[in-house]
Amino acid sequence: MSAASTRIERLRASLASSGLDALLVSSLPNIRWLTGFSGSNAMVVLTQDDCALLTDFRYATQVKHELTSGVRPVIEGASIWTGLWALLKSMPAVSVLAFESAHISHQDAARFLDAAGEGSRWRWRPALNLVEILREAKDADEVARIRTAVRIAEEALARTLPEVRAGMTELAVAGILERELRTAGSEGFPFETIVAAGARSALPHARASTNAIAAGDLLLIDFGALHAGYCSDLTRTFVVGRAPDARQVEIHAVVREANGSASALVRAGMRGRDADALARDYIQRRGMGEAFGHSLGHGIGLEIHEAPRLAKTAESPLPAGAVVTIEPGIYLEGWGGVRIEDDVWLASDGAEVLSCFDRDLLQLG
Ligand code: ZN
Ligand code: ZN
């Protein structure tokens, strides 16, 4: 059985245990994980004996190459909703259907929840995370894709750093990095590349701007690569144009120790909050707990932020097979910020840090 058809069988088991005849899958990452389809317009209806993917004419050729065995394409010429009603009418055993309540607009939900609508002949149930829960544990193929996405990101960063100089804008650095990501094989950018210099590095989600990098500035770069649909997510912090000062060295050392010990100790089976504490307790002991205002990490996969979470409020255990980020940071308003982020695979027999790019406070330019 292929990995993808195992996925379909696992989702069928979860439908059966929830008393559902069918699930309407509308999240594109969920559709990709389940069927292999990577296009931008589709819905999937999964029942115990059918898995139909509805899409439009633009993807008629693509589906022939992408769909996993056991998935039947339905090319709809009018609208995907017209196609959906026709498809459901051809499935007489389907009465109770779930929809993905986190992934459907109010306008679209009205098509089947309004009593007057065509969809009202079926009984609809909102469902949360039925597919996402199954996506948390990655199979060997998914880990291999993420591993390649990490390698591409590291190669691009290595080619970018020698070009960075004081006086360049953050956007110019982001441009070089994105060019190198493409050159190294990245299909795109899983999120907007963060390049933040000086005091702006204290903004954990700063966008690259037209601000010029000054000599002596911290430079925080947070970015990722995409390979075969899968993301990597890395952060390193540097100093530009001058040797780092004592404060920069001190703060960086705290973040590096928090990153290193959390990466070494994180394990599958640990609650998300206990994983978060691996880094947070150390930063707190160093008196900088207030300056670490976000959670320690998140799952990565087809999406850049997915389950599980490594956070103070995350009670669930981290599943074996998940790939998560470990990204402690310290942010001091008006001074700057340091973050070091790595990607870690929580294999059942231990954890492996997939990213290995130099974590020293390197001087650029
Ligand atoms: Zn990141
Ligand atoms: Zn991240």
Compute, in angstroms, the gap from residue 257 CA to the centroid of ligand 1.
18
Q: DSSP alpha helices (H): ranges in 18-72?
A: 28-35, 60-66
Give the Å distance between the CA of 233 and the centre of ligand 2: 5
Q: Encode pLDDT of 81-94 as tens digits.
A: 999 999 999 999 99
Span from the CA of 221 to the centroid of ligand 1 (angstroms):
8
DSSP state at residue 317: B
d(CA 154, CA 181): 9
Q: Which ligand neighbours the alpha carbon of 306 most closely?
A: 2
How many other CB atoms sit within 10 Å of the CB of residue 167? 12
Long-range contacts of 352-358 (CB under 8 A, 24+ apart): 353/263, 353/326, 354/146, 354/147, 354/150, 354/232, 354/323, 355/150, 355/153, 355/154, 355/232, 355/234, 356/154, 357/154, 357/157, 357/158, 357/234, 357/236, 358/236
Show the low-confidence residues of the chain (pLDDT under 70): 1-4
Q: What was the pLDDT predicted at 205? A: 86
User: Separation of 294 CA from ligand 1 center, angstroms?
Assistant: 12
* pTM, entire model: 0.95
Q: How far apart are alpha carbons 148 and 152 in whole angstroms?
A: 6
Among the bound ligands, the one closest to the CA of 305: 2
What's the pLDDT score for residue 116?
80
pLDDT at site 113 = 86
Q: What is the pLDDT of residues 240-270, one digit of tens each?
A: 999 999 999 999 999 999 999 999 999 999 9
**For ion ligand 1, residues whose CB falls within 5 Å:** 222, 233, 235, 341
Full set of structural domains in the chain with CATH: 3-135 (3.40.350.10), 140-364 (3.90.230.10)
- In the DSSP assignment, the letter for residue 38 is -
pLDDT value of residue 125:
95
Q: Peptide bond before 162: cis, by omega within 30 degrees of 0?
A: no
CA–centroid distance, 87 to ligand 1, in Å, is 41
297 C-alpha to ligand 2 centroid (Å): 6
322: CA distance to ligand 1 center in Å?
17
pLDDT tens digits, 19-39: 999 999 999 999 999 999 999
Q: Would you state the pLDDT for residue 4?
A: 63
Tokens 């589906």 appear where? Answer: 63
For residue 148, report the distance from its CA to the centre of ligand 1, in Å: 17
**For residue 198, how far is its CA from the centre of ligand 1 (angstroms)?**
18
Measured in angstroms, how far is the CA atom of residue 259 from the centroid of ligand 2? 13
- Ligand 1 centroid–CA 149 distance in Å is 13
